[in-house]
Amino acid sequence: MGWYDTNGNDWYKPSSQTGAQDRQPAANLPNGNRKTRVIALIVCLCVFIAGIALIAGGFGSDVIDYNADGKPSDWHVYFDKLYGTDAPTASAEVRIPLADDRGSLTIKNGSDGASLDFSTIYEKCSPSVVGIKVYNDSESEDYYAWGSGVIASEDGYIITNTHVLDDGDSATVVLYDGSEHEAKLIGFDASSDIAVIKIDATGLSAAEFASSSTLSVGDSVAAIGNPLSPDLRLTMTRGIVSALNREINYNGTTMTLIQTDASINEGNSGGPLFNSRGQVIGITNMKMISSFGSGVEGLGFAIPSDTVESIVQALIEDGAVYGRVSIGVTVGPVSKDIAQYYDIPQGLYVSAVTEGSDAEAKGIERGDIITKVNGEDAFENSDVSDAKEGLNAGDTLTFTVWRDGRTLDITVKLMDPADIGK
């Protein structure tokens, strides 16, 4: 997703923005600028293998001192590049007018059947894919953020990414036939990056959904969305399921995603990932890029349909998702090799602390390295997730934190993401 100039079909990318979210999602949400935050998150989500980052935005242009082997001489710079992200907030800044009534939504689930060729998948599924224009009142009316969505019901419910709507004051949906309709907000969830909007229309082509639990690595998939600009609306790319249950820590919570080699770019955010029967098995929201200049291809991610359906139902019923817990930090591993290289502890680098969280209040800082959770070594994101398993809002975890040669024990209260910042 990015800013699009309606007066000349040119991209507008504010030079002052260096974060990783669509409007970034692209991953740390989705790649490009703040409006493209994770390439399509294409939010700059933090999680990765040495030198690789999930982002939707670029990095600053400051001069960096590199060692002879190409690594930044300052380890803080190394990790800021590796896991660089705008500090996540408790909730996205979505100001799109609310619908008068959330109503009800029953997602159509397709049946098992024979696989379809890709031409048939496109013919069947493309009418259910929409473009989404998101306007910010502080910007010129000639500019809007551009993303994708999928029609979930014949009467106008549409699923997309939260980061597609981020910082938006109004939104317009572009249907398959090119017609445009004002959208109202049903609800959004920043932690899962899922949002639901609605347009006043009937007789729409609603997509069929299938359970993501049926997927296997190697299954054929196709993504249909709107990469880069309206000129490339309804582009289909194809690939396979590359991996399942990829864990990415974002906004203090762990997202479990489908990995695919189907091409995903800015503007694809919020669009559907289809199985070989033309059924939605995921919502695309991120891709991985290198923060150190080397090329990375075929590493896209989607939110599993089972997660999407549960979040959507919660948004329809309550307008928000309650009952989860968040620590309030975004972390990425400090590998053994990198720890030895920079003479720092192995652990989890804190790339962001959520504003309004207890972690912020208790003094955990960006740049800290978490070495233990409740006295146990913390080398992988899953070590934190496992420690949090079964706990409720109000329960606590004790983190051993290394900061500038000092070791601190900090006890943090878990919070419901919906309550952070209130």
Quick one: tokens of 191? 């932690």
Place of tokens 């959208």: 183
Neighbour count for residue 204 (Cβ, 10 Å) = 21
Residues forming beta bridges with residue 397, ordered by sequence position: 412
Closest CA to 189 of 101, 91, 115: 91
Residues forming beta bridges with residue 352, ordered by sequence position: 330
Quick one: tokens of 250? 């974002």
pLDDT for 407: 96
Helix (H) or strand (E) holding 361: helix 358-362
Q: Is the pLDDT of residue 297 over 80?
A: no
pLDDT in tens, 56-104: 322 233 467 888 877 888 998 888 877 754 434 444 578 999 999 999 9
pLDDT for 197: 97
The domain segmentation of the chain, as residue ranges, is: 329-419
**What percent of the chain lies above the pLDDT cut of 70?**
79
pLDDT in tens, 386-406: 888 889 989 999 999 999 999
Tell me the C-alpha distance between 139 and 149, whole Å. 23
pLDDT for 43: 40
What superfamily would CATH give domain 329-419?
A: PDZ domain (2.30.42.10)
Q: Which residues contact 173 (CB under 8 A, 6 or more apart)?
A: 130, 131, 132, 133, 149, 158, 180, 181, 182, 183, 197, 199
Q: Is the dihedral of CA 130, 21, 41, 298 positive or negative?
A: positive
- Residue 20, CA atoms < 13 Å, CB-side half-sphere: 40
Question: Please, what is the end-to-end C-alpha distance for the chain in angstroms?
Answer: 29
Q: What is the mean pLDDT of the chain?
A: 80
| pLDDT grade for 114, boundaries at 50, 70 and 90 | confident
Residues forming beta bridges with residue 131, ordered by sequence position: 148, 174
Question: Which residues are known catalytic residues?
Answer: 163, 193, 269
